[in-house]
Structures are given as C-alpha cells and as structure tokens.
C-alpha cells in the first residue's frame, strides 16, 4: 500500500500520458532546467506562514495548519490540484528533466540507457512527426480488430491486450480498461515464487460508481462520456459513431454492474482464489479461455489467483452473450483511448477534453515537455532513477533516515509488546515480522535493465506499444521464479512511499526524503511529524487489516487468534465509523470501509512516530522553535504533509475511487492522539474533540 494517493488519471495514462497526473502535483509549471538546483526552501522547520491562527486547532486542525497556504494558493489551469509539497515535486521534476536533457545532448551509443532516454523523450516531443503520420500507427491494429470473424478469434485478441497494468497490494491500482489485468507478485500461498494474479477490468471510467451512481454529477459524466466516445471514433475514421458509442457504453455499464466494489477488493481472503487454467471454462463459461491465454502468451501457466471471481464469471458470460460487433467496437475504442497521447492532436485534445476537463475539472493540459518527462519516468524509471539517486541522495540523508526508521521500529515493538489484548504467540509473530522487514531507503540495490526494450527516435506510438509489452513480458518471464525480496516497486524520483506486504518490505524513495517531508537541518520534532509519520504509516501496513493476513515470510497465514481479530475488528470499526461521518460534498461521504487500511496506517503511524520522537529525546524536553513547542511542531508538521487544494471533480474522483481519504481528513486523525490534546489545549465542545474512550487506539 502506498502512502499517498497519486490520482486516478495516472492509472489510465500509463500509455497515453494525456491526463498526466492531474492530481499528482508532480510537475513544475515552468521549464527551467538551468536552475534545477535552486533550493526550494530556506526555512528549516514547520511552515509558519501557512498557519491560519484565526482557526481554533481543536475545531479544524487541517485548516489551522494549512489555512493561509490554502487562501493564497491558486490552482494553475493545467492541474486538478496542488499540495503543500508541490515545491518538492516541482524540484524533483526539474531535476529529472535536466537528466533527460543531458542524455539528449550526449549522442550516446545506440542501445545504451542514455540513448533510450533521449529517443523516448524526443519521439514523444515530435508533434509534427506524430501529426504527419496521422492514423497510420493505429491502422494495423484497427485492421486486426476489424478482421476478427468469430468469438474464437475475439478470445485471442482479448488475450493479446492483457498487460501487467494492475497492482493489488503495492501501488494499489485496481483499474485496467482491458478486459482483465495481470499482476505478477509473490504468491499468496508460496511467497518464495512469483505467481500470476488476474484482476477485473474492462471499463474506461475510473470506477463502477461512475456507471451506477444516481448522483447528478455522475449522470452528467455518463452523458458526456457517450458523446466523447462517439467523437473519438469519428476522428479515427469510423462511421455510425453515435450508435457504436451507445453500444460500447452499454457494454461497459454491464461490466461495471458486476464489478466488485473497491471497498471489497482489499479483503485478501476474498481474493485468494486459486483457479487452475483448466478450471476457467467451468467456473467462468463464455470466453474461450484456452485461446485467451494463448493470445496472452500464458498457455504454459498452470494456475492463477483470481481476485474477483464473480466479475470473471460475469465478464466471461458477457463475451458470449454480447454481439461480436459490439466487442470489436469496444476493442477499437479502448485502443484509441489508450494511445491518444501519441496520435494526432485532434484525438489527443478530445481525450483531454473529456478525461482532463470533464472528469477532473482541469481546464488546461500540462505542457507537452512535462508529459514527456512523465513518459520517460513511466517507461525508463530506473534508467533515470539511477542517475537521480547518485546525484541527489547523499549518504548523510540516508544515514539520518535510517536512524529514524530504527527509532520508529523500536516504538512499534514496544507498542506491540504492551498490547493488553494480543495473544503472546501473535505478538511473537508480529515481532518476527519486524525482524525480517526489509526497509529500502532512497534507491534499490538492484536496478531494472532495459536491454530488450527497443526505443526508436521517430516512433512515439511504437515506443509506448513496445514499452507496455516489454514490461508485460518481463513480468510473465518471472512467473514461477524465486522472489527478489529487495525489489522495489517505485522509482527513486517518486514523491511517495510504499509497503510491499508479500515481500515484507518498505520503499522510501529518495524524492520523498526531502523538504518539507524530510530535512536533516530541521528540528527532529518536524522530521518525526512529517516523514516519521509516513515511515510509521508504512510500518503499520505490516500489521493492519491487510498486513495481518501475511506472516513474516509474506505468506498468507492466519497468525492471529480469533480473540485478537475480534478486538482488532472492533477497534477498526470505530475508526471506519469516524471516517463515515466526514462529508466532502452534501451528497458524498468518505467511505470508512474503503479507506480503512489507510486510516489505520495514519493513526498508527503518527502514534509510533511520536513515541520514536520522544525516545530520541532521551527524556529531555524538545527545543522550542519559531514560537512553537516541540510537540506543537510535531503535529503541525504532520498536518502540513496533507495541505492541498483540489478541484471538486477531482476530489469526487478520489473519494469514490481511492483507498486514501482526502488530505483534510487524514490530518484530522490527530484527534485520536492524546498528546495532541495537551499540545494545543483542546477542550470538550471543540469540533474535533473526542472523549478519551472514543479515541481510536489500534496498536
């Protein structure tokens, strides 16, 4: 589970990079690689200028800590939102852009990483070349779809679209527009070897709710979506586009009705369904599975973990029951949508008009160079990351971060030992999980290599096509092989952090270990409040509603007693209920169940980081700075991690389709921590006040 919501659109831009990171905050507005190293921040501590002293901390801690920043921040037209840490994300992006620019100047040897970085970027930037090719790159693929003459061939073609574009537990991406998605990861029942997980797919809109919800905004999005599909088909040379678009929508609607909701996708035990390849015909009749697997290059694979069995049964039945022509139109539209970013401008603009403007409320697209940087990050992330880490992550930063991890891990150990409700054997296994936990700081020990990824200087479409196949083939080739527990799932230049439950590992990329999250020159209180609570958050996932399903070796094993589980479920139900009461919109509440694992991690993370901080002081009080006590600095730094401003449409998308609560509600979790009440003299009657017995304590 990753620390931070990136945004839905980043999921659907893995290929087309069109609606790039509309919520991801990752890009600078101006291109200034020459100044890439201008320090983003000179204050080593909390951002006092962001605090709104007119807000009572006990009423609304988020607006107290971030109110002035929110008041003065205007969301640029090419973004769906901004965060307090945007300067950090912008700096990281400028550095990455500079690395790409240097690679472009090197005229490196063909086949080298530098040459690939340069060619991938330049081909993407060559809008004139893309325009001149017109629809030619699409043509062979559309011809292949048009030539499908029966459901047997359809099954093969559907198999050919399978990609490794979902990730159920690490980066938690449950969305693929392809019929299904493949995730290759350590096995639930054999964590020593890589296994094949299959996840539901088939819809373009972010989540089933977009098809099913009665909310006016969703009905409106549906109407506009059908018009958008028709427009895209027309631009791609299709006739009778209104009728085709309606049929494509109806098919997606039928698929969405059978999709498992996001809130249920996080239940490991419901997902642990082993199907032998030979079982699929009986368990999910309709699709010709042998042909599907042949198309996917998976004929040798003997078994799969099917995450949402009911969706597989339903989607397979739809392959049989719905007309061949509808499926062919669905395939054609999904292909066009996926590659719109490297097709002529008219298609790219129409795609942004719907997915950027209508769905996320972003008026304007990011400059192309920023999208180009994203494409390189996406497909050659480690090639760029290797240079990034060597240049921007000094050993002193690594040492300081490791010291914090050690203190926070020790705090977790004490908390677990002191739990009155947990059985001794369960505690022992929990401690063992901490013993074997791999904590990756900054960058991985092994890098992905890209020898087999062919990149051409004049073929933007082909580069992305081959990139997605290269990743797919790399993952398929790993099936059955021994697991590398130290493998990373994020590049060093990612401003995020992640827990990898099947590897019992954590990744803290170099890019998040910078101000305002982490500043070796800032007081410890600030670092523990800001990055320490992120570290605690990720460690907590080791034991939370998902982590508790995996033992110290990453195996799915019930190592909790019934009584442990009962207590845990009761405590966490209280937290789910707390989050259910938050209403970002009059017609839309936070879903406490859907966001539970992340909310638990937030409570536990801040609690453990606070303990780790206190332990680091060795019994002495922490120093005051900037007019705030050390405890006040700790909690303000925590809340300032989450300062953000988001367009309504994008916020709705997050509430419905993400397992993280919006920042405002994540910051409010301080109300569960006793020390916060003392630090800010929070009194009964104030809006966030909870009586001691109502505060949720998990660990």
**Site residues, Zn ion (CB under 5 A):** 1, 598, 601
| Closer residue to Zn ion, CB minimum distance, 601 or 608 | 601
Tokens 């901080």, residue located: 613
N- to C-terminal Cα separation, the chain: 18
Distance (Å, rounded) from C-alpha 640 to C-alpha 113?
Answer: 38
| Closer residue to Zn ion, CB minimum distance, 222 or 593 | 593
Min dist. Cβ of residue 279 to Zn ion (A)? 33
| Closer residue to Zn ion, CB minimum distance, 233 or 596 | 596
Segment (H or E) for 83: strand 81-83
Min dist. Cβ of residue 418 to Zn ion (A)? 24
297-327 burial code (b ≥16 CB/10 A, e <16): bbeebeebbbbbbebbbbbbbbbeebeeebb
Min dist. Cβ of residue 661 to Zn ion (A)? 11
| Closer residue to Zn ion, CB minimum distance, 46 or 437 | 437
| Closer residue to Zn ion, CB minimum distance, 372 or 612 | 612
Distance (Å, rounded) from C-alpha 564 to C-alpha 39?
Answer: 49
Which residues are CB-neighbours of 192 under 8 A, at least 6 positions away?
186, 482, 483, 553
Distance (Å, rounded) from C-alpha 210 to C-alpha 212?
Answer: 6
Which segments of 585-669 are extended strands (E)? 644-646
| Closer residue to Zn ion, CB minimum distance, 80 or 601 | 601
| Closer residue to Zn ion, CB minimum distance, 495 or 601 | 601
| Closer residue to Zn ion, CB minimum distance, 468 or 659 | 659
| Closer residue to Zn ion, CB minimum distance, 18 or 401 | 401
Number of C-beta neighbours around residue 240 at 10 A: 11
Residue nearest to Zn ion (CB): 1
Min dist. Cβ of residue 533 to Zn ion (A)? 11
| Closer residue to Zn ion, CB minimum distance, 47 or 171 | 171
Instruction: Give the CA-trace dihedral at 311, 316, 321, 326, to 10 degrees.
Output: 90
Residues composing the chain:
699
Min dist. Cβ of residue 535 to Zn ion (A)? 11
Which residues, in sequence order, are bridge partners of residue 197? 183, 305
Min dist. Cβ of residue 1 to Zn ion (A)? 4
Instruction: Give the CA-trace dihedral at 102, 103, 108, 111, to 10 degrees.
Output: 170
Min dist. Cβ of residue 410 to Zn ion (A)? 21
Min dist. Cβ of residue 692 to Zn ion (A)? 27
Min dist. Cβ of residue 180 to Zn ion (A)? 25
CB 407 within 8 A of CB 379: no
Strands 194-200 and 180-186: antiparallel
Min dist. Cβ of residue 597 to Zn ion (A)? 7
| Closer residue to Zn ion, CB minimum distance, 598 or 658 | 598
Contacts 24+ apart (CB under 8 A), 231-236: 231/350, 232/333, 232/336, 232/337, 232/340, 232/347, 232/350, 232/351, 233/329, 233/332, 233/333, 233/336, 235/344, 235/346, 235/347, 235/350, 236/135, 236/138, 236/142, 236/332, 236/336, 236/347
Min dist. Cβ of residue 23 to Zn ion (A)? 16
Between the CA of residue 507 and those of 11, 140, 451, what are the distances in Å?
20, 41, 25
Min dist. Cβ of residue 641 to Zn ion (A)? 13
């Amino acid at each position: 589970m990753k620390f931070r919501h990136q945004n839905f659109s980043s999921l659907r831009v893995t290929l087309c990079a069109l609606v790039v990171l509309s919520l991801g905050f990752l890009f600078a507005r101006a291109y200034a690689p020459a100044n890439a190293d201008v320090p983003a921040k000179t204050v080593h501590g909390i951002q006092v200028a962001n605090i709104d002293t007119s807000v009572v901390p006990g009423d609304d801690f988020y607006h107290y800590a971030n109110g002035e920043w929110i008041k003065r921040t205007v969301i640029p037209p090419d973004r769906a939102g901004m965060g307090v840490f945007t300067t950090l994300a912008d700096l990281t992006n400028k550095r990455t852009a500079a690395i790409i620019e240097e690679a472009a100047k090197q005229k490196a040897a063909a086949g080298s990483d530098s040459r690939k970085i340069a060619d991938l970027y330049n081909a993407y930037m060559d809008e004139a070349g893309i325009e001149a090719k017109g629809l030619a790159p699409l043509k062979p693929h559309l011809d292949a779809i048009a030539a499908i003459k029966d459901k047997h061939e359809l099954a093969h073609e559907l198999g050919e679209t399978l990609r490794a574009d979902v990730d159920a537990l690490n980066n938690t991406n449950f969305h693929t527009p392809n019929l299904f998605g493949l995730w290759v990861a350590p096995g639930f029942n054999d964590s020593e070897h890589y296994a094949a997980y299959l996840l539901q797919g088939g819809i373009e809109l972010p989540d089933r709710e977009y098809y099913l919800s009665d909310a006016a905004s969703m009905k409106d999005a549906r109407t506009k979506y059908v018009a958008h599909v028709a427009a895209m088909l027309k631009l791609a040379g299709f006739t009778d586009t209104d009728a085709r678009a309606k049929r494509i929508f109806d098919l997606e609607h039928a698929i969405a009705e059978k999709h498992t909701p996001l809130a249920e996708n996080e239940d490991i035990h419901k997902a642990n369904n082993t199907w032998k390849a030979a079982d699929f015909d009986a368990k999910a009749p309709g699709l010709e599975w042998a042909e599907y697997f042949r198309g996917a290059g998976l004929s040798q694979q003997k078994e799969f973990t099917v995450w949402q069995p009911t969706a597989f049964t339903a989607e397979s039945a739809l392959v049989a029951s719905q007309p061949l022509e509808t499926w062919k139109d669905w395939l054609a539209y999904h292909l066009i949508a996926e590659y719109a970013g490297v097709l002529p401008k008219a298609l790219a603009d129409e795609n942004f008009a719907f997915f950027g403007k209508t769905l996320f409320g972003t008026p304007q697209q990011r400059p192309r160079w920023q999208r180009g940087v994203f494409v390189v990050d996406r497909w050659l992330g480690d090639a760029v990351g290797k240079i990034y880490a060597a240049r921007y992550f000094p050993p002193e930063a690594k040492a300081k971060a490791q010291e914090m991890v050690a203190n926070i891990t020790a705090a977790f150990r004490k908390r677990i030992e002191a739990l009155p409700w947990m059985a001794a054997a369960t505690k022992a296994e929990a401690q063992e999980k901490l013993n074997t936990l791999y904590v990756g700081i900054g960058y991985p020990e092994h890098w992905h290599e890209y020898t087999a990824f062919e990149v051409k200087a004049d073929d933007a479409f082909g580069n992305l096509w081959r990139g997605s196949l290269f990743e797919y083939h790399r993952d398929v080739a790993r099936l059955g092989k021994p697991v590398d527990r130290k493998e990373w799932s994020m590049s060093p230049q990612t401003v995020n952090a992640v827990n990898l439950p099947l590897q019992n590992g954590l990744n803290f990329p170099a890019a998040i270990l910078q101000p305002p999250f982490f500043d070796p020159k800032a007081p410890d209180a600030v670092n523990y409040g800001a990055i320490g609570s992120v570290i605690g958050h990720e460690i907590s996932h080791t034991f939370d509603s998902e982590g508790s399903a995996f033992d110290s070796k990453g195996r799915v094993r019930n190592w909790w007693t019934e009584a442990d589980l009962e207590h845990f479920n009761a405590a966490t139900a209280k937290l789910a209920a707390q989050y259910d009461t938050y209403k970002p919109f009059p017609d839309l509440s936070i879903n406490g169940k859907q966001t539970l694992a992340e909310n638990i991690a937030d409570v536990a993370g801040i609690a453990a980081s606070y303990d780790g901080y206190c332990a680091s002081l060795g019994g002495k009080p922490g120093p005051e700075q900037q007019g705030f006590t050390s405890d006040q600095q700790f909690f303000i730094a925590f809340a300032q991690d989450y300062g953000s401003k988001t367009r309504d449409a994008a916020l709705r998308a997050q509430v419905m389709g993400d397992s993280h609560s919006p920042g405002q509600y994540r910051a409010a979790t301080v109300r569960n921590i006793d020390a916060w009440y003392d630090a800010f003299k929070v009194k009964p009657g104030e809006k966030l006040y909870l009586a001691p017995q109502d505060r949720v304590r998990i660990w």
